[in-house]
Structure 1
Amino acid sequence: MFDVVTTTFQYGDNTVEIETGEIARQATAAVKVDMDGTVVFVTVVGQKDNGEERDFFPLTVNYQEKVYSAGRIPGSFFKREGRPSESETLVARLIDRPIRPLFPAGFQNEVQVIITVMSLNPEVGTDIPSMLGTSAALAASGLPFNGPMGAAQVGYIDGEYILNPSKTQLEASSLDLMVAGTENAVLMVESEAKELPEDVMLGAVAFGHEQSLVAIEAIKEFAAEVDATPWDWTAPEKDTSLEAKVAEACETALTEAFQTADKMERYAKVDLALQAAMDAIRPEGSEDDDATPSKAAIKDAFKNLEKKIVRSRIIAGEPRIDGRDSTTVRPIDIRLGVLPRT
């Protein structure tokens, strides 16, 4: 009845099953992930018609846990699901951080990713299946997504790394580390550890990334079998002539601004540099037409120039804006007893 696509693979001690084609078929992509009884459902919806000019990428990631996933129904005074908990918000951010940079620069179509926990095995966390499901859904959506992304949780018990430790194992682990990335690079690391040495921490990142390649290959096979039609989208061409005009108008003033240690004085100089670029390229009273760049385009070119100047200073080994070198920590002042009753 349905054109269902399923991929199953072994991921450490867990068996992961990724499925699509039966539920939420009107979404751009919808994937169900079952990791040893913890089941999450991920939907991706992308807006094909951008519709409006933006200077940002409107990506929304919502992660939601339902009490029915643990076999319960809200009762007593509260008979409905409440607002997202702190842990739900943190998991949503955990997913957002590694997928956002995998969309190409210039892609500004609205994209919504919603992850719903449908069933819970208390020993298997929802973080990893949620991240793998998001990666699989995006890879199978046809969206311009430079994935897939893999994700792994790493524990450390008795001198050995543990891939995707259970809840019981985490209680005995001196490390709880999350790593996500593509097959070529690590994109995100988040960890909690009990004073482990640096080489153990770096080894955990390398271990997690290496193990996540198994998931990446499985998601690639899954996406190839789904065979979604890629979106007809091309990155907008950079207006190199506008960037050259902006650089000519304010690069010297902007470089000087980034050598000013006082923050407020530096901000004022940056604002003056931007105004100089605006006055030179788009004089007051200019009309919006094909020959005159928009204010948004000039600001975008100005931001690129800012990034170029700051990056070049870092690469050249020059001091930071406030005069510190790369090994000096910013001075920190601590006061006690400032407030009488808090």
Structure 2
Amino acid sequence: ESNGSSSMASVCGASLALMDAGVPIKAPVSGIAMGLVMEGDKVAILSDIMGLEDHLGDMDFKVAGTRDGITALQLDIKVKGLTREILGQALAQAHEGRMHILDVMTKAIAAPRAELSDYAPRILGIMIPPDKIGMLIGPGGKTIRALQEEYNVKIDVDEDNSGRIAVASVGLEGVAGAQACVERIQAMTAAPEIGKIYQGKVVKIMNFGAFVEYMPGNEGLVHISELDRKRVEKVEDVVKEGESITVKLIGIDADTGKVKLSRKQALS
């Protein structure tokens, strides 16, 4: 049904819904569709046109805005053009109609509610290095899907390759999950820092040392000589696979990017 313009009704309804949900919009917005009938020198400007008036009339002029001004316009005409006087009269008439609609809307809700609705989505935004986007998504989207399922959130990656990430959750109980997901993403995509102490997990033991996942998806080697202050004969004498250990990042190979870790230097 297009009577009164469904799009302008959507403007009013969306404004009311946002305020009811507690979204802090600056001001409510109303919209109205104006029509026009021209016959010779006779001109009639119509407010809040019905479907028949839209179909048979000469203009569909949609005007939306707040009490302070117009935020959007859309004009379709079936005549060759409009005079400045006709357009000015249509805008003045639209202003009168919009103010009346805003008065009615204000009676329902005058300002955004102080608290967000329990059903309103919460969105946390973060930036990650653009070259880490592939790591976040994972092969075939495996990693990002796993994160969404684990934390019960929706993750959106901006398509402009800027590294902007949005993590959305619903309800108060979802905020903690979204925050935990953000922290996980930040840990996954953080750049390794030489000299920084990490809490890692031993993922593989070799005779020359142990590979440790010091950040999600990032591994480095603790050489056998960097396992302990005293001489180590066997790696298994100091660490076991799956064990959590504290390590210090002591170097990154400039050519290969391989990370060197030290348990010895991380010991207090």
Q: Give your verdict on TM over 0.5.
A: no
Task: For CA contacts below 8 A with separation 6 or more, give which structure has more relative contact order.
Answer: 1
TM-score (norm 1): 0.30
TM-score (norm 2): 0.38
- Structure (1/2) with the larger strand percentage: 2
Which of the pair has more CA radius of gyration?
2
